[in-house]
Chain A
């Protein structure tokens, strides 16, 4: 049986070829379209999903349920976990000041504390560097 005389067969092959060509062309257009869209997407949409590069708090909680580190002898001065570097801490401040109406107002209590952390900390799966202050 000749395929040229086989209307169904001929139709089917032609149809298949046409469909294939159209599909291929469509795919190319789609691919082209996707590439064009991808090229126009801002870089910020590409993510590494490594987590934040912000420092982690010290895990232990204080009595208020916060990641606060009270200052004092034998207590940890840093507020950042996975950290190595320079630190300073101070607490139990006493001082005086004046408001914009001329009132003398004292500041400071046993828990009025400040500190800094400067150095390396681990976040986002890699070492980071920075300086931070607790105020």
Chain B
């Protein structure tokens, strides 16, 4: 979030989960039933409530202090008709799917500073890049012959 233009010097909040001890980056487990994917894999809705996160306004500075916060959000992906295949034998991954549209609505709370924020409805947001599909990597990856 920014005060004024979206530039690092104007950043006033940055919400994300902590990095895990293994190095897994801003990843949290999705509770049962929170992620709904259509049978054809072309549409997905992810909705989670009160996810523990931190607010680190000075991220990515190494000494950026974090304040405990919570985040609730609903996000939707919808596939377009544009197919994608990303295959990288060096990095051992392959993705097959579609370019997509994605929209988000969210709510955050930082109790220690008495701050809360709620986004406009989902329909008012958009992402300029989105994909949806299937991936294999690491030990599950085999190069396309």
Q: Which residues of A contact B (CB under 8 A)?
A: 52, 54-58, 60, 64, 66-69, 71-100, 105-109, 114, 116-118, 120, 122, 130-135
Contact = CB atoms under 8 A, between A and B. Distances in A.
Given A71-B129, A98-B117, A118 B124 contact: no
Nearest to A99: B117
Given A77-B95, A97-B117, A116-B35, A66 B27 contact: no
A96 B124 CA distance: 8
A67 B79 CA distance: 27
Contacts, number: 208
B144 interface: no
A84 B71 contact: no
Contact of A54 (B20, B26, B117, B137): B20
A30 B12 CA distance: 65
A97 B118 contact: yes
Contacts of A108: 6, 125
Contacts of A94: 125-128
Per DSSP, chain A at the interface is strand
Interface in B1-53: 1-3, 6, 12, 16-17, 19-20, 22-30, 34-35, 37, 41, 44, 46, 48, 51, 53
B95 A76 contact: yes
Interface of B: 1-3, 6, 12, 16-17, 19-20, 22-30, 34-35, 37, 41, 44, 46, 48, 51, 53, 60, 71, 73, 75, 77, 84, 86, 88, 91, 93, 95, 97, 100, 102, 104, 106, 114-120, 124-140
A81 B3 CA distance: 37
B121 to A, nearest CB: 10
Contact of B131 (A64, A88, A97, A135): A88
A131 B29 contact: yes
Nearest to B109: A100
A116 B30 contact: yes
B65 to A, nearest CB: 17
Contact of B22 (A56, A76, A85, A106): A56
